[in-house]
Amino acid sequence: MFSLPPFSELKELVASRTAGDVLHALKSPHPDLSDLAALLSPAADGFLEQTAARSSEITMYRFGKTIQIYAPVYLSNFCTNQCLYCGFSAGNRIDRRKLSLEEAESEAMILHNRGFNHILLVSGDAPKAMGVDYFEALALRLRERFASVSIEVQPLETDEYARLFAAGITGVAVYQETYEQKTYKEIHLSGKKRDYEYRIDIPARAAEAGMREVGIGVLLGLSDWRADALALGFHLAWLRKRFWKTAFTVSFPRLRPAEGDFTSSMDVSERNLAQMLFAMRIFDQDVGLILSTREESRFRDGMIGLGPTRYSAGSCTAPGGYGNPDLTGEQFSIGDHRLMAEVCSDIKNRGFDPVCKDWDMTFQLH
């Protein structure tokens, strides 16, 4: 089981790093967790240009001039948990809807026809409304049509992940939201998600089941971002040691306006987010870094080539919202409203290739 040093120690570790530690981390051929702490520290803020340059150099070397493009397909907004920051939270009065298999397939095919080959199936945590049987049946319908199908749904057991992998799901995203246990309890009021320990072991369960890719992340704005990003580094390093065959991604979604009007006093600026992305890239040269449509187009365009390797595009966060854009009941409001074609065109204008397909399910099936 993964366990972290106390969150207060992570905060202290980051706060105590000096400019000398930052320079050491920038020069290190194999940065460790202490280097990551330095790159996340207040002392590193004055070195943002140097960290951006180092992050860009590594990204070019490991990933080339490419950005992978994907889109989410929201399947259901029913949820049994109460998470203060989420539009789907059980206490919110929103239009609840779950897509039938036919409707879900139709939503996915709208994305397919727009040119998407990588999709992420998303649902709230309500196993009675939508369980493993449903995900398996949908995966079997979609597996031949998409290069990859991943899920961001309720936590599952290892054998359930293995079953979905066999059906064609190749990736799982599951975010801890915050690694600070006190805050975690305060914002997760009820439901299974309230169990911090249970959740923290889900990425390992997905990797153990054989998933090709596992995504971890924190929701920025819930707690101290520097310590949360360092905790992510600890988690990533622990997973890498045990699951060397699995590819990992890290995501740093920032809080967005959502039903329930949750507000936080923990502001995380674009500059902070950039520092985090650069630090994680320098710490782990192979990790996929995701920058979603939560961020505005100006910021996403500016970050091309500096660290992120995957962008969502043309996203809708309400179930059924691609076929019917008037539907409400979204999880949160997005920041980048461009269509996929516009996102791709802006990436190309910066001399990069938007990659809609870099993996094919047939690699796995044969």
Residues 105, 107, 125, 259: which binds ligand SF4 (CB under 6 A)? Answer: 125
**Does 175 participate in binding ligand SF4 (rule CB under 6 A)?**
no
CA dist., res. 246 & res. 282, Å (int) = 19
Q: How far is the CB of 155 from ligand SF4 (least distance, A)?
A: 9
Closer CB to ligand SF4, residue 81 or residue 150?
81
**Does 74 participate in binding ligand SF4 (rule CB under 6 A)?**
no
**Does 99 participate in binding ligand SF4 (rule CB under 6 A)?**
no
**Does 174 participate in binding ligand SF4 (rule CB under 6 A)?**
no
Nearest to 25 by CA among 1, 4, 2, 55: 55
Question: In DSSP terms, which residues pair with 119 in a beta bridge?
Answer: 71, 149
CA dist., res. 366 & res. 326, Å (int) = 42
Binding mask 31-70 for ligand SF4 (x = CB under 6 A): ----------------------------------------
Closer CB to ligand SF4, residue 10 or residue 187?
187
Closer CB to ligand SF4, residue 35 or residue 177?
177
Closer CB to ligand SF4, residue 25 or residue 173?
173
Residues 55, 68, 81, 150: which binds ligand SF4 (CB under 6 A)? Answer: 81
Q: How far is the CB of 82 from ligand SF4 (least distance, A)?
A: 7
Closer CB to ligand SF4, residue 81 or residue 309?
81
C-alpha distances (whole Å) from 159 to each of 133, 156, 205, 208, 241 are 13, 8, 9, 9, 22
The answer to whether 243 and 204 are in contact (CB under 8 A) is yes
Stretch that binds ligand SF4, among 83-91, 201-209, 294-302, 317-325 (CB under 6 A): 83-91
Question: In DSSP terms, which residues pair with 249 in a beta bridge?
Answer: 215, 288
Under the rule (CB under 6 A), what is the footprint of ligand SF4? 79, 81, 83, 86, 88-89, 124-125, 193
